Amino acid sequence: MDEGAFFPDCRLESSSFSSTGIATIATGAYPEGHGIIAESWYDPGAKKIIGAQPSLNQAPTLADQIAAADTRNRVLATGMDRARAGLLMGRHSILSIEPGPEEPAWMAAFRQSHSPDRFKNAKWQALQAEPNAPPLRTLVDDPARRDEFTALYNASPFAQEDQFDLVRSIIAEEKLGQGAGFDFLGVVLNSTALLGYEVGADSPLMREMVLHLDRQIESTLELLRKIAGP
């Protein structure tokens, strides 16, 4: 109470699972309404554990409503994880750094230029750090333990920037905001969550990640003002 956050009447009306939270934001319904009650749960009918996925969502999403309102409206989503992007957007187009079906032609070139491999052994420096300052973290690449590099990359500002580069490319390449209909682009940002799971909310790494996030949002808003106007 003296040094931390104190919530004298805190009430959690939803679950703290990421998939549940995304579905709640997407639909405006509580878990009892949309059915995504956790990351995974036991299905007594199938007699097995099932994972959260868009097909299990029982409530219409905001994206569904927009798409149904006018045939000229376009709905797209992006995220590092296709399943979570699907929870946000329903059954609409999802563009990810991971390969997927029915993608526009420009995605192949984007994916090639944004390979995570270019960050092997990259040093994560603090913003405004002195040139000789030690890195906050190094994305060590050990060929014998490839998964460790992938985890470090996914929980870094490098992955977050790649996600925002994809967002900005979608806006530019698909000419969002310039047609007769309403364009809706949903984004699931994973990197901050993945880092938080690892180091906790009070880590200096989290502070740096949020500062990077703020810069990426600023750059994206500037692009929107140039392309689509205020």
Residue ranges per structural domain of the chain: 1-59, 60-227
pLDDT value at residue 13: 59
Q: Look at residue 3 and tell me whether its pLDDT is greater than 90.
A: no
Q: Look at residue 229 and tell me whether its pLDDT is greater than 80.
A: yes
Q: What is the mean pLDDT of residues 68-85?
A: 90
Q: Look at residue 1 and tell me whether its pLDDT is greater than 70.
A: no
pLDDT value at residue 8: 80
Q: Is residue 212 packed enough to be buried (19+ CB in 10 Å), middle (13-18) or exposed (0-12)?
A: buried
Per-residue pLDDT tens digits for 173-195: 999 999 999 999 999 998 998 99
Handedness of CA 35, 39, 42, 48 (dihedral sign): positive
Residue 21: Cβ within 10 Å count:
16
Closest CA to 186 of 27, 55, 29, 79: 79
Number of H helices, E strands in the chain: 9, 7
Which of 117-122's residues contact partners 24+ apart within 8 Å by CB, and which partners?
A: 119/153, 119/156, 119/158, 120/149, 122/158
Provide, rounded to the nearest whole percent, the portion of the chain with pLDDT above 90.
Answer: 72
Q: Is 161 in contact with 80 (CB distance < 8 Å)?
A: no
Q: What are residue 126's phi and psi, to 5 degrees?
A: -65, 145
Q: What is the mean pLDDT of residues 202-208?
A: 94
Q: What is the mean pLDDT of residues 207-219?
A: 96
pLDDT value at residue 167: 95
- pTM equals 0.86
Q: Look at residue 209 and tell me whether its pLDDT is greater than 90.
A: yes
Separation between Cα atoms, residue 66 and residue 35, nearest integer Å: 21
For 60-227, CATH number out of 3.90.1570.10, 3.90.1150.10, 2.60.40.2130, 3.40.720.10 equals 3.40.720.10
Q: Where are the alpha helices (DSSP H) in the chain?
A: 18-27, 31-34, 62-69, 82-89, 106-113, 146-154, 157-173, 191-199, 204-227
Closest CA to 155 of 98, 83, 205: 205
Per-residue pLDDT tens digits for 108-124: 999 999 999 999 999 99
Q: Which position has the higher pLDDT, 133 or 14?
A: 133
Token pair in block for residue 31: 């878990």
pLDDT value at residue 15: 64
Per-residue pLDDT tens digits for 6-42: 778 776 655 678 899 999 999 999 999 999 999 999 9
Separation between Cα atoms, residue 90 and residue 84, nearest integer Å: 10
Mean pLDDT of the chain: 91
Separation between Cα atoms, residue 186 and residue 74, nearest integer Å: 11
Q: What is the mean pLDDT of residues 115-143?
A: 94
